[in-house]
């Protein structure tokens, strides 16, 4: 299986602290050594770093950690392969254009019999069930909506419904971003926290690294962090309920929707 990391904020923030924690699980503190990826949004476009090797031993991952890029929205992933070879094209997160913006997706689990799902104009490049499921999800959204819905809640419900249908074929924990929202679906295991005032120190679960967020933030800052397994040992993580989809916007949990 793989591990997911998402961040969504109301002010530009770097993901270095959380990405460091995830990188440790990519081949050092965890077995997820078959590739890593990180997507960082700038408005509706995302820059994506991908590498089919262990994040814990990657010079590129170290460079990203040492040269932080602030963003409002990010998705990261460390892979332990179940389907598809260790290769660049099979490395998460995946990215496609829909409605003139980048959609970014990362998955944890296995979706069986996914090949029969239609994908429309969205063609998988690699051989993972994850990428095929992502293409199938985007196909449903494009089929049912000619453009990005003005009613944002209509989009949230459409994603929850389509994800629930795909999730009937297996384990479909995922993170999805559209440049404005972070969507997180729990099938088996997922957690989130909201960092907000009054800020305090946090210590990584797999390392002794501690950060005092009160010295790095302002009282108005809000940062939502989503992870497969809690990344810190001293913060109030909320455990996801299987079959639910979270929607985050501007550092707040905007909706919890049924996705079955």
Give the Å distances, CA to CA, from 198 to 8, 119, 220, 231.
18, 45, 10, 20
Question: Cα 184 vs. chain centroid, distance in angstroms?
Answer: 7
Query: Is 40 within 8 Å of 47 (Cβ atoms)?
Result: yes
Catalytic status, residue 135: no
29, burial (CB in 10 Å: exposed 0-12, middle 13-18, buried 19+):
middle
Per-state percent for the chain, helix, strand, coil, to nearest 5: 25, 35, 40
> Backbone phi, then psi, for 201, in 5-degree steps?
-80, 155
Pick from 192, 183, 189, 191: nearest CA to 171: 189
CA torsion through residues 111, 155, 50, 1, sign: negative
User: Which one of the listed residues 2, 9, 135, 186 is annotated catalytic?
Assistant: 2
Give the residue from 43, 136, 49 showing the smallest Cα distance to 92: 49
Cα(65)–Cα(68) distance, rounded to whole angstroms?
Answer: 6
Strands 244-249 and 210-212: unpaired
Q: Closest by alpha carbon to 176, among 39, 12, 71, 54?
A: 39
Catalytic residues: 2
């Amino acid at each position: 299986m793989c591990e997911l990391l998402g961040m969504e904020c109301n002010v530009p923030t770097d993901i270095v602290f959380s990405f460091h924690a995830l990188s440790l699980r990519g081949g050092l503190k965890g077995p997820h050594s078959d590739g890593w990826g990180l997507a960082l949004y700038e408005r509706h476009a995302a820059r994506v770093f991908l590498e089919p090797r262990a994040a814990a031993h990657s010079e590129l991952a170290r460079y990203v950690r040492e040269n932080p890029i602030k963003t409002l929205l990010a998705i990261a992933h460390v892979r332990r392969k179940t389907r598809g070879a260790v290769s660049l094209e099979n490395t998460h997160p995946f990215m496609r254009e829909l409605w003139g913006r980048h959609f970014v997706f990362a998955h944890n689990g296995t979706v069986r019999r996914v090949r029969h799902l239609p994908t429309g104009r969205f063609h998988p490049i690699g051989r993972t069930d994850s990428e095929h499921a992502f293409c199938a999800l985007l196909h449903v959204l494009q089929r049912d909506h000619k453009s990005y819905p003005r009613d944002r809640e209509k989009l949230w419900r459409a994603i929850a419904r389509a994800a629930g249908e795909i999730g009937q074929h297996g384990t479909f924990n995922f993170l999805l971003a559209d440049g404005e929202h972070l969507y997180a679906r729990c099938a088996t295991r997922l957690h989130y926290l909201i960092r907000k005032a009054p800020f305090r120190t946090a210590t990584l679960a797999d390392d002794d690294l501690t950060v005092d967020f009160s010295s790095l933030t302002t009282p108005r800052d809000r940062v939502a962090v989503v992870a497969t397994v809690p990344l810190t040992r001293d913060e109030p993580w909320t455990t996801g309920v299987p079959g639910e989809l979270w929607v985050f916007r501007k550092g707040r949990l905007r909706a919890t929707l049924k996705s079955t």
